[in-house]
Amino acid sequence: MAAEAPPPWEPYPLPTFPEEGFTEKFLRKTRENPLVPLGCLCTVSILAYGIICFKKGNTRRSQLMMRARVIAQGFTFAALLGGMVATAVKSR
């Protein structure tokens, strides 16, 4: 006697959204996890300021800004992971 195969695993259905443009999708995603765009904005701002300091010859401030950029990127990544975990927990 052969053992019967278990029934196929059916994942939870993904939420469907009506056709939305870039702006609507961006605003929806920003409302769902507002820390990610904030982290991206901080990262870009720190990077731009670091490049300006480098161009002006202020190497000490430039190095400080590059280290701050890494911290801002880490914050952005943590916010992204936190948002994914929160969404996964909320969907259950």
pLDDT digit string (tens) for 11-27? 777 777 678 888 988 89
- Number of Cβ within 10 Å of residue 42's Cβ equals 17
Cα of 74 vs its chain's centroid, Å: 10
pTM for the model stands at: 0.69
Residue 89 pLDDT level (bands cut at 50, 70, 90): confident
Task: Tell me whether residue 83 is exposed, middle or buried, using C-beta atoms within 10 angstroms of its C-beta: 0 to 12, 13 to 18, 19 or more.
Answer: middle
pLDDT tens profile 24-56: 888 988 888 888 999 999 999 999 999 999 999
